[in-house]
Amino acid sequence: MKLLDRLFEGSTRRMAAVTSRRTALARIGSWVVAGSALPLLLPIDRVAGRADAAEAGRPGDPGDPSKCDYWRYCSIDGFLCTCCGGSINTCPPGAEVSLVTWVGTCHNPADDKDYIVAYNDCCGKHSCAQCACTRNDSEQPMYRPFNNNDINWCLGAKANVYNCTVAVIRGVAS
């Protein structure tokens, strides 16, 4: 303790002897001001603190394709192939895509356009049971079977066992 006392006393006396106190205060003050202003002035990516900071995705294609709230899944009812070893538009290995399917529209918030999305089912393997999503934005009741997602669309594949669902963009709805 004594050592620390002596050290600080010595350095303080030396500082007082060598510099003018006003200069020192002015310099320290200007460094404090500049130092606190610097992060505000520098071109730093400041997204991290905002509410949409968690939003993943590429420019023009916002959202996480392995989450139910991804924009292309606005009318999906089933398991996401992105969680089952496939991708947003490919079936998992070993599963067969059913060509017969149903088609809806989803709104892309990035460019404010409605896209035609086909919800092809992947079939022939056991139910994937990962990322179950039910969202029915442009779905129609069962009496319009071609616009209904409660149907097992694996009816168009060789094996009718349902595995998961992809969301393929077919064009812009306009």
Partner 1 sequence: MRSFLLGVLLLAAVVPAVQGRSIPQPGQPVSIGTTPAPPPGGAGYRPAVNWQLQCAGCHLEDGRGARANDVPRLQGFVGRFLEVDGGREFLLRVPGVSQSALSDAETAALLNWIIADGMAGASRPADFQPFTEAEVARLRHQALLDLPGTRAKLIGAIRARGFAIEDGLAP
Annotated catalytic residues are 102, 121
Interface contacts to partner 1, rule CB under 8 A? 55, 62-63, 68-71, 73-75, 99-109, 114, 116, 118, 132-135, 137-138, 140, 143-144, 146-147, 155-156, 158, 170-171, 173-174
Minimum CB separation of residue 152 from partner 1 in Å reads 12
Measured from the CB atom, the residue of 5 and 52 that comes closer to partner 1 is 52
Measured from the CB atom, the residue of 9 and 55 that comes closer to partner 1 is 55
Minimum CB separation of residue 50 from partner 1 in Å reads 14
Minimum CB separation of residue 134 from partner 1 in Å reads 4
Cα distances (angstroms) measured from residue 1 to each of 8, 15, 161 = 11, 21, 78
> Torsions phi, psi of 150, nearest 5?
-85, -10
Long-range Cβ contacts of 48-57 (<8 Å, 24+ apart): none
Q: What share of the chain is helix, strand, coil (3-state, %, to 5)?
A: 35, 20, 45
Gap between the Cα atoms of 99 and 113, Å rounded: 25
Measured from the CB atom, the residue of 106 and 122 that comes closer to partner 1 is 106
Structure token pair of residue 167: 């969301």
